[in-house]
Amino acid sequence: MRLSLILAIALVPLAATSLLVGVADLSGDASLIFWVSRLPRTLAVMLTGAALAVAGVVMQQLVRNRFVEPGTTGTGEAAALGLIAATLLAPEASLWVKMLAASAGGLAGTALFLAMIRRLPPQEVLLVPLAGLVWSGVLGAMVLHIGWQTDLLQLVGIWLMTGEFSGVIAGRYELLWVAGAAAALALFAADRFAILGLGDGMARGLGLRPAAVMRLGLVVVSVVTALVMATVGMVPFVGLVVPNIVSRLMGDNLRASLPVTALGGAALLLVCDVIGRLVIFPYEVPVGSVLGIVGAALFLWLLWRAPRHG
């Protein structure tokens, strides 16, 4: 509870800084920029960070491995396949139809990945993230090939390149609220995901239906990943480092740690977004690039430092 309160309090000055940082002056008529650009951008950053952090926890419980996140298991690339298929087959379809196609693609890609890793020896924990990276590479190559053949490489670049929030304005980020709702659904099912992480046999012994919880987890991960990817592009490391840090500090009680994980993801992405906007002011560095450096440093620290909870 104390950690969640600290993070909630820290989000206030971080959000205020995000709202005030920018090239345009907010006085006078320019205050319209606040409502059209600054506020939507800050909300988009917080929603993205929180949703991706929770999706990372769910993914780790489904796979039973701490070294994975949706971005390293092919979920984003599979969602891009669904989105490019919808763009080619139904170019006049509404945005919601394309988002459903992207979510379906992400769900199918993640389900195939889970089916593949079931054949790996459980004692070789590093094989799972390695298999995820290979699977991501295969799906990413397919997306690039189709994009090249159909002259859609510009769209593919937007979807798969590192996260970019500079184009977020009112009317172009609202799908992230759906991603936030999907992450909130995981909060209500936290106990089920925690039991699923113990293994199918233990879950059945405790009266849980592993297949149903697995389907729910796949929906949460695929929806969050697809909506974030289509709105701001791929955002690395949030779903990997934040759940591991929170787990080190609080243990594996997901009912207590998932809200902290969501707050931590929002705070981390806000910090990286502000850094990206200030480091070469008045220009900015994409938040995904900043997060790549910060996230890599945090991940190396996690590998080096001994955990407080076994």
Predicted confidence (pLDDT) at residue 33 exceeds the cutoff of 60? yes
CATH number of 2-12+34-304: 1.10.3470.10
Q: Pick the residue with more confidence: 125 or 89? A: 89
Predicted confidence (pLDDT) at residue 310 exceeds the cutoff of 50? no
Instruction: Tell me the pTM.
Output: 0.90
Work out the average pLDDT over 39-52: 92
Burial class (CB in 10 A: 0-12, 13-18, 19+), 144: middle
Work out the average pLDDT over 273-298: 87
Gap between the Cα atoms of 151 and 154, Å rounded: 8
Q: What is the pLDDT of residue 308?
A: 54
- Residue 229's nearest CA partner among 288, 284, 170, 144 is 288
Q: Can you name the residues that pair with 68 across neighbouring β-strands? A: none
The structural domains of the chain, with segments of one domain joined by +, span 2-12+34-304
Predicted confidence (pLDDT) at residue 119 exceeds the cutoff of 50? yes
Is 31 strand, coil or helix? helix
Contact 48, 232 (CB under 8 A): yes
Q: What is the pLDDT of residue 123?
A: 65
Residue pLDDT, tens place only, 137-148: 999 899 999 989
List, as one string, the DSSP characters of 245-277: HHHHHH-S-HHHHHHHHHHHHHHHHHHHHHHHH
Gap between the Cα atoms of 81 and 152, Å rounded: 12
Predicted confidence (pLDDT) at residue 303 exceeds the cutoff of 80? no
List, as one string, the DSSP characters of 129-196: HHHHHHHHHHHHHHHHHHHHHTT-HHHHHHHHSBP--TT--TTSSTHHHHHHHHHHHHHHTHHHHHHH
CA distances from 17 to 38, 154, 249 (A): 10, 32, 27
Please state, rounded to an integer, the average pLDDT across all residues of the chain: 85
Gap between the Cα atoms of 214 and 220, Å rounded: 10
Contact 270, 16 (CB under 8 A): no
Q: What is the pLDDT of residue 271?
A: 93
Q: Pick the residue with more confidence: 3 or 307? A: 3
Report residue 202 as tokens: 């233990």
Residue pLDDT, tens place only, 169-211: 888 788 889 888 988 888 888 888 888 877 777 778 877 788 8
Gap between the Cα atoms of 33 and 306, Å rounded: 46
